[in-house]
Protein backbone atom coordinates (compact mmCIF):
# COMPACT_ATOMS: atom_id res chain seq x y z
CA UNK A 1 0.00 0.00 0.00
CA UNK A 2 2.80 2.36 -0.83
CA UNK A 3 1.21 5.67 -1.61
CA UNK A 4 2.60 7.96 -4.28
CA UNK A 5 3.33 10.40 -1.49
CA UNK A 6 5.53 7.78 0.16
CA UNK A 7 7.84 7.57 -2.80
CA UNK A 8 7.83 11.30 -3.48
CA UNK A 9 8.69 12.28 0.07
CA UNK A 10 11.22 9.47 0.37
CA UNK A 11 12.86 10.68 -2.82
CA UNK A 12 13.01 14.21 -1.44
CA UNK A 13 14.53 13.04 1.83
CA UNK A 14 17.99 12.67 0.32
CA UNK A 15 20.18 15.76 -0.12
CA UNK A 16 21.90 14.39 -3.21
CA UNK A 17 18.55 13.88 -4.88
CA UNK A 18 17.33 17.32 -3.90
CA UNK A 19 20.53 18.77 -5.33
CA UNK A 20 19.93 16.88 -8.56
CA UNK A 21 16.41 18.24 -8.80
CA UNK A 22 17.74 21.74 -8.26
CA UNK A 23 20.25 21.24 -11.04
CA UNK A 24 17.53 20.04 -13.35
CA UNK A 25 15.64 23.26 -12.74
CA UNK A 26 18.16 24.91 -15.00
CA UNK A 27 17.88 22.55 -17.87
CA UNK A 28 17.61 18.94 -18.91
CA UNK A 29 20.84 17.06 -18.37
CA UNK A 30 22.57 13.86 -19.35
CA UNK A 31 23.32 11.36 -16.60
CA UNK A 32 27.07 11.92 -16.83
CA UNK A 33 26.64 15.66 -16.51
CA UNK A 34 24.33 15.23 -13.53
CA UNK A 35 26.99 13.13 -11.86
CA UNK A 36 29.87 15.48 -12.56
CA UNK A 37 29.66 17.81 -9.53
CA UNK A 38 29.20 14.97 -7.06
CA UNK A 39 31.94 13.00 -5.40
CA UNK A 40 30.11 9.80 -6.05
CA UNK A 41 30.36 7.01 -8.57
CA UNK A 42 28.35 7.27 -11.72
CA UNK A 43 26.47 4.14 -10.76
CA UNK A 44 25.48 5.78 -7.51
CA UNK A 45 24.04 8.77 -9.31
CA UNK A 46 22.31 6.46 -11.73
CA UNK A 47 20.56 4.82 -8.80
CA UNK A 48 19.47 8.17 -7.41
CA UNK A 49 18.08 9.10 -10.80
CA UNK A 50 16.16 5.84 -10.91
CA UNK A 51 14.61 6.66 -7.56
CA UNK A 52 13.66 10.14 -8.72
CA UNK A 53 12.13 8.65 -11.84
CA UNK A 54 10.30 6.07 -9.77
CA UNK A 55 8.75 8.88 -7.78
CA UNK A 56 7.75 10.60 -11.01
CA UNK A 57 9.87 13.61 -10.14
CA UNK A 58 11.88 13.25 -13.31
CA UNK A 59 11.56 11.43 -16.60
CA UNK A 60 14.41 9.98 -18.59
CA UNK A 61 14.57 9.75 -22.34
CA UNK A 62 17.33 8.04 -24.20
CA UNK A 63 18.55 9.73 -27.35
CA UNK A 64 21.46 7.99 -28.87
CA UNK A 65 23.67 6.74 -26.11
CA UNK A 66 22.81 9.70 -23.94
CA UNK A 67 19.96 9.50 -21.47
CA UNK A 68 18.43 12.88 -20.80
CA UNK A 69 16.89 13.69 -17.44
CA UNK A 70 13.98 16.07 -17.30
CA UNK A 71 12.28 17.58 -14.29
CA UNK A 72 8.60 16.74 -13.81
CA UNK A 73 7.30 19.45 -11.51
CA UNK A 74 3.75 18.17 -11.37
CA UNK A 75 4.82 15.34 -9.09
CA UNK A 76 5.87 17.96 -6.57
CA UNK A 77 2.54 19.66 -6.71
CA UNK A 78 0.63 16.77 -5.17
CA UNK A 79 3.08 16.66 -2.28
CA UNK A 80 2.94 20.41 -1.91
CA UNK A 81 -0.82 20.34 -1.74
CA UNK A 82 -0.70 17.64 0.88
CA UNK A 83 1.67 19.68 2.99
CA UNK A 84 -0.37 22.80 2.77
CA UNK A 85 -3.61 21.23 3.73
CA UNK A 86 -2.66 17.81 4.96
CA UNK A 87 -5.63 15.85 5.98
CA UNK A 88 -7.68 16.40 2.89
CA UNK A 89 -6.13 13.75 0.75
CA UNK A 90 -9.04 11.41 0.36
CA UNK A 91 -9.42 9.97 -3.13
CA UNK A 92 -12.33 12.25 -3.82
CA UNK A 93 -10.18 15.28 -3.35
CA UNK A 94 -7.36 13.83 -5.35
CA UNK A 95 -9.71 13.34 -8.25
CA UNK A 96 -10.89 16.88 -7.85
CA UNK A 97 -7.33 18.04 -7.71
CA UNK A 98 -6.57 16.37 -11.00
CA UNK A 99 -9.56 18.03 -12.60
CA UNK A 100 -8.36 21.28 -11.07
CA UNK A 101 -4.93 20.88 -12.60
CA UNK A 102 -6.42 20.14 -15.98
CA UNK A 103 -8.63 23.16 -15.78
CA UNK A 104 -5.64 25.21 -14.75
CA UNK A 105 -3.62 23.91 -17.64
CA UNK A 106 -6.30 24.83 -20.12
CA UNK A 107 -6.45 28.26 -18.59
CA UNK A 108 -2.70 28.59 -18.88
CA UNK A 109 -2.86 27.53 -22.47
CA UNK A 110 -5.43 30.13 -23.40
CA UNK A 111 -4.10 32.91 -21.22
CA UNK A 112 -0.66 34.29 -20.57
CA UNK A 113 1.40 31.61 -18.86
CA UNK A 114 3.02 34.01 -16.40
CA UNK A 115 1.51 36.72 -14.32
CA UNK A 116 4.88 38.23 -13.78
CA UNK A 117 5.45 40.76 -11.07
Site residues, a second copy (CB under 8 A): 1-3, 5-6, 9-10, 12-15, 18, 21-22, 25, 73, 76-77, 79-94, 96-97, 99-101, 103-104, 115
Residue 1 touching DNA (CB under 7 A): no
Q: Is the dihedral of CA 81, 4, 44, 59 positive or negative?
A: negative
What residues contact residue 69 under an 8 Å CB cut-off, 6+ apart? 20, 24, 28, 29, 30, 31, 34, 49, 52, 58, 59, 60
12 interacts with, out of DNA, a second copy, none, CB within 5 to 8 A per kind: a second copy
Q: What is the number of alpha carbons within 13 Å of residue 35 lying toward its C-beta?
A: 15
Among 4, 5, 9, 10, binds DNA (CB under 7 A): 10
Among 4, 5, 31, 101, binds DNA (CB under 7 A): 31
CB of 44 closer than 8 Å to CB of 36: no
Residues 49-78 that bind DNA (CB under 7 A): 49-51, 60, 62-68
30 interacts with, out of DNA, a second copy, none, CB within 5 to 8 A per kind: DNA
Amino acid sequence: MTDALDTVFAALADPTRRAILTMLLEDDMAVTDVAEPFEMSLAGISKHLAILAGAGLITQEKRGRVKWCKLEPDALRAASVWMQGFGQFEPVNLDAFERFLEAELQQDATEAPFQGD
